[in-house]
Structure 1
Amino acid sequence: MNLFHQNNKLFLFLFLGTNLFWNVDFAQEKNPETKVLSIKEAISIAKENNDWIAMAKLQKEASESDLKEIKSHVLPHVVAGASGKKLSNVTLYEHGLHDSESLPPPPSTYQANFGVEASFNLYSGGKHEAQIEESEIKTKLSDIKIQQQSGSISLQVIQNYLEILRLSKLDSIYKEQISREELRLKNINSLYKNGKVTRSDVLRAEIGLSNEQFARKENQSNIQIFNNRLNVLLKLPEETKLILSDTAIVKETPEWINIEEPSEKTAYNFLSAKQNVEFQEAKVKGVKSNYYPSISLISAYEYNYPNYLKYPNVDQAYSIGFVGFKMEYSISSLYQNNHKVRAEKERLEELKVNENAVRDNLKLEISSLKIKLEDTKEKMEIAQNNIEQSKVNLKIVNTKYFNQLALLTDLLEADNLYLQSKYKLIEAQTSLLNYYYQILYTTGKI
């Protein structure tokens, strides 16, 4: 009986423990992780975790390894080799293929060789130096690509962050508007019951409330979409709920918006175009090196068996070595290399034109963003004034309507003007920061 009672206790304990574990696990799945982020923290996480930035860093590491490999060519080129053979008998023929005789090959049926050869480049017309320069520029280009990819991802993070803030501000406005619409509908229903307004006023108020509820629901879905996009950029679990700590977009124009005169000379695209010109100049040097001879210091030392240096051949091993130099010159380069040099020079001119075009496009883009930035500052001031004016206007028309001195159409129009002015302020606030960060990205400062 006691044993049965103890087993029941054990079973109950296991059941409760399993149930508790399942409930905790279920609760964790049901309640996704939340993460509080500022813009700076979001950028920092993206730079550390984003796959595109990681790929750019790996490409730079590969370029650095290529550079080390090319630089190592300045060291002597050493080759070691060995061979061993067993020869068959020698078949001797007389009178064509008749009267053959088979004899072992003198002085031995075995042959062996082991040796080391070394060569050291003394002069190659600047070919090796040009290859090193090309590889160094490739490394610089890969570094610029990391910065550009990092800046691009940072800008995407900022834009998604600002969009979530904008939509969150809109959600607050929708919430406030729905409360106002509900109060208005309640008051209109009272007027309708007292016979002071028609049924159409009630219906229009209900439709207005439904439209705002619909708009808020759609806005909340958009917040979730941009939350997921930001999670992907930061490489966080998709279900992670982000809480943005930088809740204020822009209440007034901050001092840091008045940035120093932006320059296209620090832009990623311009730096890449400039490095491409230098890379092509190095290629031209490399192609021109084909006009010059190459001179190398050479050396070798070998062990051989049997001795074929002596006649008749001797069944013995011997060693021998040498030191000298070798010069090579391709005579055909005098008439074949001209076309290649001309082609590389034409590509160089093309890249120089491209560099100028990139500079001009960047100047135009920066000046356009500056104009938009200044224009948005003015729009913010106008929107703030419009909010104050439309708020007073709404209050006046609302009073008139409920005193039977204005139509519902006038009230809805006044309410819409107030709502639109608040929308425009949020749009201007978000656009101001967006243009500011776009200028920073375009000029290579993020």
Structure 2
Amino acid sequence: MKKRLIISAILISLLISGISYAAEKRFLSKKQVIDLALRQNQKLDKLRQDIKIAQAKLGGAKSAFYPNIGLNSSYTRFKEKQRLTMSKNKNSFAVGLNLQQPIFLGGQLWSTYQQMQNNLKVAKLKLQEEKKKIKYQVLEQYYNILKVKKMIEVTKQQLKRIKQYLEVAKVNLEVGIATKTDVLQAKVNYNQAQQRLLQVKNRLQLAKLALQNSLGISSQVKLKFNKELNWQPVDIVDNPYQYALKNRIQFDILKLQAKNLKLNLQRVRNKDKYPNLNLMINYQARDKEFTVKDGSLQLTLNLQYNLFDGGKDEAKIKEMTKSIDKFRISQQQIEDQIRLQVKQTILNLKEARQRIKLNKLNLQKAKENLEHTKLKFKEGMITSLEMLGAETTLKQVKTDYYQAIYDYNLAQAKLNMVLGKEEINND
């Protein structure tokens, strides 16, 4: 019975450890990487709070259209009888109800309400804009991991071939068609290849840690990526800058900010142009008992008009006019920057595409050169150092090829961002 219990406990512990080990591995696609980044980002959480704040302020601006109603009540106990009124009662109750309703404020309330609406729209647009930036950042890290994985694969292949060259050098030394120097050089080449493999593996770990930090995933979790580093040619939209003007969120934010500046200016101008008109209603009742009967009702229309303020509003108008002019200059600068971004990104995309094609051709030539050099090395016609030269050339061409694919994918992601275009997931 005890043996059964021990065996059961061992099996359960193995099962639990297997489950926990499996839980430590996480397979992620490009879409999952983006979704995680958007779900667990503190910047986005702050911007969502900004939206809630803007919604609260909009509610406050809306409430200004409604009347303010107040109720007041008091009780007074006199120590002696009131001699002036000859009242025999020492108690005095008072009840009051007052209402204040803005009738016309020269558009002040309405312009404030519009500004709060615009501020809410800006807060929502900033959230969308930050999402696009985060998408690009994690895609850069994601593609970097795929690139480094490819470099590990390339380095392993090179290490395997260099080990073969070392064996060939040893055989050639025995038959007398190679020198001891060739063997020693081959050993050095093999050791250096091992070091490069360790370095590129370390780069992969660092790249994964950077992505885990962006995604908010524990460093104990082992990330796995089934997708290989590849590329798909994309067509560039017609009139890309016009497309960016229409779809780029930053332009919408600028338009709303410009509207708010104009609303501010209009509010100050209307302050001197139109009067303020408010309606006030006041009802008061006072008696020896608590009652609301037989009170007095008072209605007041209050009109205020600014005749002279020493030029304060005029100076404010000039200041705000200059601020609008300054904003227009900044707006034009931002538009020029975005135009430049679009041009640069399209050029980078085209350049990377051309480099992919050229390196693909170079890759074929480098492979042919390596095969030809191998035959010479086996026959003892060249040294280990010359053999390494052909091997290094192939590795460099492969590195350039995968770097070009990485650059193309990154340029494509950036082009989507600068155009305001949604990222298309092919996973």
Shift of 1:193: 3.0
SS in 2 for 1:74: coil
Question: CA RMSD of the aligned region, Å?
Answer: 2.8
Work out which of the residue numbers 369, 372, 377 in structure 2 matches 1:401: 377
Q: 1:294 aligns with which of 259, 262, 276?
A: 276
Distance 1:48 1:444 in 2: 20
Q: 420-429 or 73-82, which moves further after superposition?
A: 73-82
User: Does structure 2 conserve the Cα–Cα contact (< 8 Å) formed by 1:295 and 1:327?
Assistant: yes
Conserved in 1, the CA contact under 8 Å of 2:229 and 2:406? Answer: no
Equivalent of 2:315, from 339, 363, 366?
339
Deviation at 1:72? Answer: 2.0
Conserved? CA contact 2:172–2:380, under 8 Å: no
The alpha-carbon deviation at position 15 of structure 1 amounts to: 6.2
Please state how far the C-alpha of 1:32 moved relative to its aligned partner: 4.5
What's 1:365 paired with? Answer: 341
Among 196, 205, 210, the alignment partner of 1:215 is 196
The TM-score, its normalising length taken from structure 2, stands at 0.88
Matched, 1:80 2:62: no
Residue matched to 2:179: 198
User: Which residue of structure 2 lines up, in the alignment, with residue 68 of structure 1?
Assistant: 59
Residue 113 of structure 2 is aligned with which of 132, 143, 150? 132
Aligned residue number for residue 270 of structure 1: 251
In 2, the alpha carbon distance for the partners of 1:13 and 1:331 equals 100
Query: Aligned partners of 2:78, 2:84: CA distance in 1, in Å?
Result: 8
Per the TM alignment, residue 246 of structure 1 is displaced from its structure 2 partner at its CA by: 3.0
Distance in 1 between residues matched to 2:270 and 2:220, nearest whole Å: 59
Structure 1 residue 182, shift from structure 2 partner: 1.2
Q: How many Å apart are 1:29 and its aligned residue?
A: 4.9
For residues 349 and 363 of structure 1, the distance between their equivalents in structure 2, rounded to whole angstroms, comes to 21
Match of 1:176 in 2: 157
User: Does the CA contact (< 8 Å) of 1:273 and 1:351 recur in 2?
Assistant: no
Q: CA deviation at 1:31?
A: 5.0
Q: 104, 112, 121: which is aligned to 2:93?
A: 112
Residue 215 of structure 2 corresponds to residue 224 of structure 1: no
Q: In structure 2, do the counterparts of structure 1 residues 342 and 184 end up closer, same or farther at CA, with 3 Å as the change threshold?
A: same
Of 410, 414, 420, 2:386 maps to 410
Q: Out of 29, 46, 57, which is 2:48 matched to?
A: 57
Q: CA distance change for structure 1 residues 112 and 426 in 2, over 3 Å: closer, same or farther? A: same
Change (3 A) 1:104 1:126: closer
Q: Which fold has the larger relative contact order, with Cα–Cα distance below 8 Å and residues 6 or more apart in sequence?
A: 2
Choose which of 129, 137, 140 in structure 2 pairs with 1:159: 140
- Tell me the distance in 2 between the aligned counterparts of 1:14 and 1:84: 82
| Contact 1:77 1:120 (C-alpha < 8 Å) held by counterparts | yes
- Deviations, residues 304-356 of structure 1 (Å, cap 9, x unaligned): 2469xxxxxxxx98522222311123444462211112111211111111110
Are the aligned partners of 1:268 and 1:442 in contact in 2 as well (CA < 8 Å)? no
The residue number in structure 2 matching 1:435 is 411
Unaligned runs of 5+ in 2: 423-427
Q: Unmatched 5+ residue regions in structure 1?
A: 1-8, 91-101, 308-315
Distance change in 2, residues 1:12/1:113 (3 Å): farther
Pair 392,192 (structure 1): closer, same or farther in 2 beyond 3 Å: same
2-structure distance, mates of 1:16, 1:287: 85
CA distance 1:317–1:269, shift in 2 (3 Å): closer
When residues 105 and 29 of structure 1 are mapped into structure 2, their CA distance, relative to the original with a 3 A threshold, is: farther
- CA gap of 1:324–1:431, structure 2 versus 1, over 3 A, is same
CA distance in 2, matches of 1:89, 1:345: 66
Q: Tell me how far apart the structure 1 counterparts of residues 93 and 12 of structure 2 sit (CA, whole Å).
A: 75
Alignment partner, residue 425 of structure 2: none
Which residue is equivalent to 1:189?
Answer: 170
Contact 1:35–1:241 at 8 Å: present in 2 too? yes
1:387 aligns with 2:363: yes
